[in-house]
Amino acid sequence: MIKLACATLSAEGFEYRDFHRTFEMLPAAGFRHVEFNLWFPETMLPSKVRDLCQRCHAAGLAPVAVHGNGFDLSGEAGLTRDLAHKIRLLEIACELGCDVVSISGVRRGKGGGLDGVIAVLRNLAPAAEELGVRVALENHADNNIENLADYEAILGAIDSPAVGVCIDTGHFDAADVDIGELIDRVGDRVNHIHVKENRGRGKVAFTRFGEGTTDNHHVIRRMIDRGFSGCITCELSPQDRPSTVEDLRTAYEMFRQYETNA
């Protein structure tokens, strides 16, 4: 089964607006599933999660994933603080009725580096298994989770069915990573997909769907051929203007063919 979702980032940008644009725009564009970007303190509160559940029900949207701030062991609290934050993300996923938490790292070499990511995951994986939530590790350019070597190091250290790879197509292009090779090597551990448009390889130049060079369809078909089941989330990073309903509708029409849960 494959569900097609849209990230709240696509409607809200990087500001906290209490998801008002999300609940207006996503249904209007055709989306029935949503991935919540939970980057602000307000979004971690139990009362806010209950509010989101109620608003999703009213809008006809089903949460399928949450995305939280990256692994970061900076400061005295270090591992304890970051683990507590990630466990709260797992709890929120359960409260929303979804089973994927997508997490990236922080800038390359910061926040404990790749070893810090692995240290958190060693403690987080048992909790994720117990709660039935999958942790999807998302790549970013110049990040502790960026390329094939990073993923092989993490997956080699964390042998858990609850920990896998979130392919972000635009970010892999921006980091000049060969997605085909990555799928060949760790495709069996891919548990979530973000589709995004980038212009070119080796530079961050995100754009709207249909205006870039990222071969999203090829990646999706490769994963479907491998038996991928899960969620494909459309992400539109803010560029020169906020996204419109038409921008989101373009994404929905481009990828709705892959949805099999109707």
Show the domain range for 138. Answer: 2-258
pTM of this structure: 0.96
> Can you tell me which residue has the tokens 């990646």?
219
What is the structure's pLDDT at 77?
77
What is the structure's pLDDT at 81?
96
What is the structure's pLDDT at 75?
81
Tens-place pLDDT, residues 148-198: 999 999 999 999 999 999 999 999 999 999 999 999 999 999 999 999 999
185 CA to centre of own chain: 20
- CA-CA-CA-CA torsion sign (250, 19, 117, 129): negative
The vertex-107 CA angle with 207 and 171, nearest 5°, equals: 30
- Residues for the chain: how many in total? 262
Query: How many domains is the chain partitioned into structurally?
Result: 1
Taking CA atoms, 236 is separated from 14, 86, 92, 206, 261, in Å, by: 11, 24, 23, 8, 23
Q: Which residues contact 172 (CB under 8 A, 6 or more apart)?
A: 139, 179, 182
What is the structure's pLDDT at 61?
98
CA end-to-end span of the chain = 9
The vertex-66 CA angle with 63 and 70, nearest 5°, equals: 175
Q: Which residues contact 192 (CB under 8 A, 6 or more apart)?
A: 65, 100, 102, 134, 136, 138, 164, 165, 166, 167, 230, 231, 233
Q: Which residues of the chain have pLDDT under 50?
A: none
What is the structure's pLDDT at 165?
98
Q: What is the CATH number of the domain that holds 107?
A: 3.20.20.150
